[in-house]
Amino acid sequence: MVRTSLRVRLLHIETGGINIVVLNSDQAKDLDLKHLDRVRVFNHSKDMICSIDITKVAVKRGEIGLFVEPEVKLGFKDGDELFIESVPKPKGLGAIREKLDGKELDKEELYDIVKNIVDDELSDVELTAFITASYCKGLSFEETYNLTKAMVDTGEVLDFGKGPVFDKHSIGGVPGNRVTMILIPIVASQGIKIPKTSSRAITSPSGTADTVEVLCPVTLPKEKIKSIVNKLNGCMVWGGSFNLAPADDKIIKVEKPLSIDAEGQMLASILAKKISVGSNHVVIDLPMGPGTKIPTHEKAEHLTEVFTNLGKKLGLKIECIESNGSQPCGNGVGPALEAIDVLKVLTNDPSQPKDLREKSLIFAAKIFEMSGNAKKGKGLELAAKVLDSGEAYEHFKKIIKAQGGNPDVKISEIKVGKFIYEVKSGCKGIVTMINNKAIADIARAAGAPYNKGAGLVVNSKLSDAVNENDTLMVIHAESREKLLRASEVLKDKKVFTVQ
């Protein structure tokens, strides 16, 4: 194949994704290269595949513009000589094309696509085509299975041997809901291995990893995570700490702006992460209610069935629990305010949110019964004992310390946003509806999750009787500007319905 010699011009701009190099438009015509065509970019020692972008101004004939991603990966400098030659399209593209026509993809085809995704070889157009085709045409059981395997195989894995290793996952959509942070110390303190990795918020006010981070670091090297779990049975780290099913994040980046959550891809991404951390027993929280991903009981039953069957084929024992997703779980929404809820439950504080305590116990109980630590029907008793005795809190402190945090932090020492705005009822009555989505939007506008102390505290829950001047919710922000921003969002939303 014919190669062309070019001089590097660094552009100092990230693309945020795929590897792109920029050619002058006349040169591109000369080489018959079009927008998004692939080229191999190389010199005597380095080599990578990039997509072409075309410019009239930024790059002259004879030059090649490098965005930050290929600059970093290749280590080239301004003026270096390098070569390009055209290369065939990525292998997965043919399979994406077939999926658009409704063909069922086999193991190799799905592997090719996922490998291309992980290696940043697909353009936004091509990746979107795969995701929307999978959404429109659906993924079969077999395809979902093979997609899961491909996601695992293209990432790093942890290995804790063949003994029982547990995990827990929530389908999400419920503000607060920091069950994981209470559940982990309860079950890990009883010798159950549970290497929990969690995500950060994308559109929510806080992910579990964001909240844990109020108390200790969550980005730990893979070996450190392994040693903590081997010593304490549990951890609470960020899933991005190592390269865990990396295709998933790239798929989510496309799904989010389209507000789609293709079932097959959701199943594959959840289970791939569980397998990658070495789990073989998983409890899944299916929060049901308006505004969650599970609007009806039928949808929950359907998901339970596919999760269980898919788990069986993948060697995972899976149990699903339907929970109430119609309002926030706990009172705090936002990293610090949620961390306070967690500490209150663990220390049996009188002002602890009862709903968060109960939900955490139910999930711990399920794990105890699956592991054999408790007989069927006796898990709840054991979970409550471990929590109330302070054993869970002691174990929690050990994990926080092992991850590099201060285990003795007091609730009063956790900083929350000083700029506050109280939302009053306006009338006397009963709370009949709480809008999860509005709560999330307001907490984000107040600065969560990036401002750890920002968010809100929900004082009134469904069925509570309230008076005209009762405070239903308190917004916290770390600056006056953010508080203003949150109150602007509040204006447009109906958060509570009082009747």
Question: Which chain residues interact with a second copy by CB under 8 A?
Answer: 1-2, 11-14, 16, 22, 29-30, 32, 34-36, 53-58, 65, 68, 96-97, 100, 102, 123-126, 128-129, 132-133, 135-137, 202-203, 253-254, 256-260, 444-445, 447, 450, 481, 484-485, 488
CA distances from 78 to 38, 66, 241 (A): 22, 9, 33
Other CB atoms within 10 A of residue 269 CB: 21
On whether the CB atoms of residues 336 and 212 are closer than 8 A, the answer is no
Q: What one-letter code names the amino acid at 484?
A: L
Q: How far is CA 360 from CA 83, 162, 387, in A?
A: 58, 27, 10
Residue 60 DSSP SS3: coil
Shortest CB 143 distance to a second copy, Å: 15
| Nearest residue (CB) to a second copy, 75 versus 102 | 102
Cβ distance to a second copy smaller for residue 90 or 289: 90
User: Residue 269 or residue 360: which is nearer to a second copy going by CB?
Assistant: 269
Cα(6)–Cα(490) distance, integer angstroms: 55
CB-based burial label for 481 (10 Å; 0-12, 13-18, 19+): exposed
Q: How far is the CB of 67 from a second copy (least distance, A)?
A: 9
Comparing CA positions, the residue from 111, 197, 114 lying closest to residue 157 is 197
Nearer to a second copy among residue 18 and residue 194 (C-beta): 18
Q: List 430's β-bridge partners, or say none.
A: 465
> Is the CB of residue 331 less than 8 Å from the CB of residue 319?
no
Shortest Cβ distance from residue 443 to a second copy (Å)?
Answer: 10
Closer Cβ to a second copy, 97 or 226, answer by number: 97
Distance CA 379, CA 358 (A): 13
Instruction: Specify the 3-state DSSP secondary structure of 11.
Output: coil
- Exposed e or buried b for every residue in 111-133, given b needs 16+ CB within 10 A? bbbbbbbbbbbbbeebbbbbbbb
> 196 or 482, CB closer to a second copy?
482
Closer residue to a second copy (CB): 48 or 100: 100
Instruction: Tell me the closest approach of the beta carbon of residue 268 to a second copy, in angstroms.
Output: 19
d(C-alpha 314, C-alpha 250), whole Å:
23
Question: Which sign, positive or negative, has the C-alpha torsion 239, 245, 246, 252?
Answer: negative
CB of 82 to a second copy, least distance (A): 18
Could you say which DSSP state residue 239 is in? G
Least gap, CB of 489 to a second copy (angstroms): 10
Q: What are phi and psi of 20, to 5 degrees?
A: -125, 135
Q: How far is the CB of 137 from a second copy (least distance, A)?
A: 6
Residues in CB range of 387: below 8 A, 6 or more apart: 182, 186, 345, 346, 348, 357, 360, 361, 364, 393
Catalytic residue ranges: 261
Q: How far is the CB of 68 from a second copy (least distance, A)?
A: 6
Name which of 128 and 227 has its Cβ closer to a second copy. 128
Torsion of Cα atoms, 236 then 199 then 238 then 240, to 10°: 150
Q: Compute the residue count for the chain.
A: 499
